[in-house]
Chain A
Amino acid sequence: MEFLQLFVFLALLIILSPLLGHYIASVISGEIGLRFKTLGKIENAFYKFLKIDSEVEMDWKGYLFNLLMFNLAGFIFLLLIQLIQAYLPFNPQHLGNVELSLAINTAVSFVTNTNWQSYAGETTLSYFVQTVGLTVQNFLSAATGISVLFVLIRSLTRKNSSKLGNFWTDMTKTTFYILLPLSLIFALFLVSQGVVDTFRPYTEATTLEGARQVIPLGPAASQVAIKQLGTNGGGFFNANSAFPFENPTPLSNFFEMLAILLIPSSLVFTYGRLTGSKKGALAIFGVMLFLFIAGLTVSIISEYSTNPIFKMGGLMEGKETRFGVLNSVIWSTATTAASNGSVNAMQSSLSPFSALVSLFNMQVGEIIFGGVGCGLYGMVLFIFLTVFISGLMVGRTPEYLGKKIDAYEIKLTIIAIILPNMVILLFTAISLIVKSGLSGLSTSGPHGFTEALYAFSSAAGNNGSAFAGLGANTVFYNLLISLGMLIGRFGILIPVMAIAGNLVQKNITPPSKGTLRTDTPLFALLLTGIIIIVGALTFFPALSLGPLLEHLLMHKGILF
């Protein structure tokens, strides 16, 4: 019976994605603004207010410059309000100013759509910072990712041009027509399930044993909605979606899980509609869904198989009784496949193979659905790679959707693949050498190693989930992880923009018999192969020495 829910989950995802995908396509093509005149008027009034000329399009450098400046401004604002939080309003608990390295980490984390949290929300950040700072960035970082995807789409559909759209209108449209309405509906639903949304101070309660307990409150529902939908993942409370006030019921849990994947998977259909390659999009969706289900299967089997130490399967350690094993595993797979990073159970307590799946999901670059926008543009980089290698094998200069893929695209694709990998491997290694790194690990052996590996995989993938155990709130980890998140975000985003700038200038070659088709099952298979091979070849040693070794040792009766 439990598994019925899994099928409903997948079925809903498959049904809703094309619908939402088509809606998003009509948003960006401007149709929605025209069909609903009032909305269009509000949109235009907004442009007028901000003095944005919505007709002017930018080339890739102009677009990127505006994007980076906007992100920089967001970062500085978020940093400042943390540093002076004590003097700002909406701080009923009178929380003090945030320490500098933690503030930097948190600011970078939310601007890069990572939502890595070295802090506990309820004991560190005021309502003001949570709502005006974090929630706003949850929207904007998601919109940034989607905007870049739109740029990439334009670069594939336009020819002999340099114009790639207007950053400000893309951001406005994405936020106004997509993220806000969805979040509003979802937040209301969450409130109906019991998620709190208030500016009242924390309450105190007396437990049955007579102990006094502080129960944190806050404007949570509004932030939880966008944290799930925008693949942000940063919890309002420390325990994230394991905490009853963030995720109270099985029903809220179900829809929060769905919300993780919804927009990333819908964008695949948007992509298909806008590029005119619906079958191609279906192939991409197929690859994502396959990799997701494959990871999920491994996780489920490993969670339910008999643990050699306890002589039973389906262990509940680190899981919530109101969700059970299956829902915890679906969540852990979904949250790492999409670069969400919210959790409803503790990753550290999952079986080694579940951890392996989570790690792999992040390490292949957050492209199995991935973050909103960035997941798909990361996937397109892998498509370039696949098209290049297999295109050579059919004896033609490789092309994708009629655009020739040459040295320039390959160079930037390689850069975008190397940089996050470098963060994961090199930064993990640094943490294992440096004293301040080692002291953060809670245990030794493969499990301790996995803690560090997980942290940097999460940072590089802009995921934000933590393995738990790692004492990350130190100057060392705060700064190194910040750097990792920045490289993980902009080390891909900037090359993608540059590629888009180059592609848009190229002509579109119509397909011929000799052209490698990118909308066939064969291509989907190849793409899957390239993703697995690139991921596996890079991380085979690390994964062997981490989760695999831990799994094997567990069977020998050694635990960490």
Chain B
Amino acid sequence: MKVEKKLFDKDIIRKAAADSFSKLNPVSLIKNPVMFIVAIGALFTTVIFFTGWREGNFSSFNLQISIWLWFTVLFANFAEAIAEGRGKAQSESLKKQRINSTARKMADNKEIIVPAVDLRINDVVICETGDIIPADGEVIDGIASVDESAITGESAPVIRESGGDRSAVTGGTKVISDKIIIRVSVNPGDTYIDKMIALVESAKRKKTPNEIALSILLSGLSIVFLLVVVTIRIFIDYQSTGTINITDNVSVPVLISLLVCLIPTTIGGLLSAIGISGMDRLLSHNVIAMSGRAVEAAGDIDVLLLDKTGTITLGNRMATELIPAPGTDEAYLADAAQLASLADETPEGRSIVVLAKEKFGIRGRNIHELNAHFVPFTAQTQMSGVDIPASGSSPERIIRKGSIEAIRKYISDDVGFQIGSDSDFLFTQVIGVDISLSGGTPLVVTENKKVLGVVQLKDVVKGGIKERFAQLRKMGIKTVMITGDNRLTATAIAAEAGVDDFIAQAKPEDKLAKIREEQSNGKMVGMIGDGTNDAPALAQSDVGIAMNSGTQAAREAGNMIDLDSNPTKLIEVVEIGKQLLMTRGALTTFSIANDVSKYFAIIPAIAASLYGTQNRPGPLSILNIMNLSNPHNAILSAVIFNAVIIILLIPIALKGIKYRPEGAEKILKRNILIYGIGGLIVPFIGIKLIDLIIQLF
């Protein structure tokens, strides 16, 4: 899906050109007040032209004005249509896959084949090797490898299983091995892809808050200019007691032309194209947004919370070393550590099993034979382990592994506190500090509350992440790493990764508390998460990005989903959010600045004959600083410029203006220079050129 499209694809243009006309429908026009005014103006001038013609008064000026006013509307429609077309092309491939697929639905313990589009929320379906997953849902049983390349473009299959943090599946992806049972979590029309498609269709698209505010501003300006135009004729009439008939110069088509030139048609015509293409760009980065509001908010993020694991560090921590306590054999430590980890399905647990096997050839044992009882990890105890009952000569073994703090608590909470524990702690502290300083995590292994030694788990920080964080810092975004590690380890990793702040030994509720704290200080908080325990934090954050690999709960809580599950994606999302606002702001500035030149074209055209004579123009002709050939040409040139500039700016609207991570002051200066000062000067040149061209005919 990550196909780079050309800015203007032939098919899209053809379709957009046709759509430009169908969008003349008043129902869709009225959504854009500025263009609606232009359309009404165009209608008026057209009627005036035809009534004049029927009365034998063919006015080529009125005809040309009418044509160009219609063009202005069509150009704006075209801009919107082309943005829609590009967005649709992007989402169409996703849609197609789902239309023809069928689902194996479980009903009364029987399997029936139904069309995928008939599935409803809470339906249960089965998917086996080769099946396309019919709808978004959650795996409730089984484990399978799934090819998600259809939506992510990533060819390596991913594991999806019930329980854990990887239970969510997306409709349109394909099971390539094993069998899973899925509970459908959305109704048709509510899937992520459906929502995304809605965001790139103007008819369904909801305006974002800033877009609404801007529309109000543009409507307000239009009202002001309407007042100006309505009154100007009265002001001129009052003074035109002189010798020359002035009504031709301030005819209704002329006034409508002035109005259309003054109201912010440039930004008005491109506003919805900017919004649609922003969503489209987001989609091309493989991010699905639930709303435009979320994308806009991304540009406002002050603080970004990231889980360390899988975000800052590569996947999971791996056991790299075994350090036995004094008086303990390393092999014995390895054996105990492996026993405690046999049933631990976390990557860390597995890596301990692997390390023991590689170093001492200790093979995984059949846990049922040992009659062992496994104690799973909980967020509260922060420990896991195994209880092996006494059998024959071997005594009872209670093995636990966990962080230094957890083990300390575990041992010292006990009533029968052992005397040897003090020296044990000294050892674990020293080793722990050593490991932590190097950015690793110490995992203490105990047997019957005696410390056997420490397993060193090491994190690997992702390559290039430091540069990404530096970029975020330049954007003014503070990064906060959240980790269950102790302070020392967290400090080392934080320094290596280059985050601004971190929360060590964080429990799930700490994330929520941190977000609330930042928000109460007025900050916008972004959060990236994947696990079920992230769901409350994702929901609380202003912008929550859920990893596609995450759980269904997390995906529902977030307002964006990253299909690639690449956390640094946020940078692109922030950029797109900022670009959206910047493009709107820049084109608004450009549009308003343009008005100055239009006044200098049109005011002398309509008022220069005041107090003039047949051969000599009146005093206000000095305002004709562009030295335009005659009043009609001047007005026509301004109207043509006004229409053509919309077409010329379509590429900027679609691509968005460039965003570089730098301070606000710098960005502002550059944009003011280009779009403000540029907006003042460009139309002077443009109108003059058009006037010169018109004179050739």
Contacts and interface: CB of A to CB of B under 8 A. Distances in A.
A548 B620 contact: yes
A175 interface: no
Interface stretch (B110-118, B392-400, B576-584): B576-584
A393 B209 contact: no
A16 interface: no
B619 A425 contact: no
Interface in A501-559: 507-510, 512-517, 520, 522, 526, 529, 533, 536-538, 540-542, 544-545, 548-549, 552-553, 555-556, 558
A426 B521 CA distance: 46
A426 B231 contact: yes
A507 B607 CA distance: 51
A396 B234 contact: no
8 contacts: A402-B522, A405-B213, A410-B213, A449-B235, A512-B476, A522-B665, A526-B672, A549-B619
Contact of B663 (A446, A513, A529, A555): A513
B476 A406 contact: no
A395 B476 CA distance: 12
B524 A509 contact: yes
B631 to A, nearest CB: 15
Interface stretch (A117-125, A139-147, A214-222, A428-436): A428-436
Contacts of A553: 611, 619
A132 interface: no
Nearest to A405: B213
Contacts of A538: 224, 227-228
B584 A392 contact: yes
Q: Which of B220, B227, B668 has the largest number of chain A CB atoms within 10 A?
A: B668
Interface stretch (B296-304, B531-539, B549-557): B296-304
A389 B585 contact: yes
Interface centre among B235, B589, B611 (most CB of A within 10 A): B235
Interface stretch (B325-333, B374-382, B595-603, B688-696): B595-603
A388 interface: yes
Interface string A456-472: 00000000000000000
Contacts of A536: 596
B216 A414 contact: yes
Contact of A510 (B209, B227, B521, B610): B521
A429 B668 contact: no
Contact of B210 (A392, A429, A552): A392
Contact of B522 (A398, A429, A448, A508): A508
Give chain A's interface residue range (CB within 8 Å of chain B): 35 or more
A429 B235 CA distance: 7
A411 interface: yes
Interface in B492-527: 519-524
A406 B478 CA distance: 24
B475 A529 contact: no
B259 to A, nearest CB: 12
Nearest to B623: A544
A414 B664 CA distance: 25
Nearest to B669: A522
Interface stretch (B100-108, B124-132, B143-151, B236-244): B236-244
A422 interface: yes
A306 interface: no
Given A407-B213, A545-B239, A553-B611, A515 B476 contact: yes
B619 A509 contact: no
B489 to A, nearest CB: 29
A444 interface: yes
Contacts of B228: 425, 537-538, 541-542
Given A425-B227, A540-B603, A541-B235, A520 B672 contact: no
B216 A429 contact: no
A519 to B, nearest CB: 11
A513 B471 CA distance: 12
Interface string B555-589: 00000000000000000000001110110111011
Nearest to A538: B224
A306 to B, nearest CB: 18
Closest 5 CB pairs of A and B: A392-B585, A395-B578, A514-B476, A414-B220, A513-B476
Contacts, number: 215
Given A393-B671, A509-B302, A522-B665, A407 B220 contact: no
Given A410-B213, A542-B231, A556-B619, A390 B607 contact: no
B582 A544 contact: no
Contacts of B603: 540-541, 544
A439 interface: no
Contacts of A533: 592-593, 596
A421 B230 CA distance: 13
Given A393-B667, A509-B523, A517-B664, 16 more contacts: A159-B522, A389-B585, A389-B589, A393-B589, A394-B582, A394-B664, A397-B581, A410-B217, A429-B234, A507-B520, A509-B302, A509-B524, A516-B665, A517-B665, A538-B227, A541-B228
A396 B664 contact: yes
Interface residues of B, number: 76
A433 B671 CA distance: 45
Contacts of B586: 392-393
B622 interface: yes
B588 A392 contact: yes
A6 interface: no
A391 interface: yes
Interface in A62-92: none
B15 interface: no
B231 A428 contact: yes
Nearest to B585: A392
Nearest to A536: B596
Given A395-B579, A396-B581, A444 B241 contact: yes
Given A526-B672, A541-B603, A548-B620, A514 B664 contact: yes
Nearest to A533: B592
B659 interface: yes
Contacts of B668: 390, 393-394, 516, 522, 526
Nearest to A399: B300
A34 interface: no
B216 A411 contact: yes
B227 A407 contact: no
B522 A545 contact: no
Interface in B206-259: 209-210, 212-214, 216-217, 219-220, 223-225, 227-228, 230-232, 234-239, 241
B161 to A, nearest CB: 40
A510 B519 CA distance: 11
A347 to B, nearest CB: 20
A45 interface: no
Given A393-B582, A410-B213, A507-B522, A542 B235 contact: yes
Contacts of A308: none
A549 B672 CA distance: 32
B672 A393 contact: yes
B582 A395 contact: yes
Nearest to B297: A397
B620 A552 contact: yes
Interface string A363-393: 0000000000000000000000100111111
A418 interface: yes
Interface string B282-303: 0000000000000011011010
A448 B234 CA distance: 13
B543 interface: no
Given A392-B582, A522-B665, A544-B623, A510 B475 contact: no
Nearest to A427: B231
A417 interface: yes
B474 interface: yes
A313 interface: no
Contacts of A181: none
B663 to A, nearest CB: 5
A541 B599 contact: yes
Nearest to A445: B239
A517 to B, nearest CB: 7
A446 B239 contact: yes
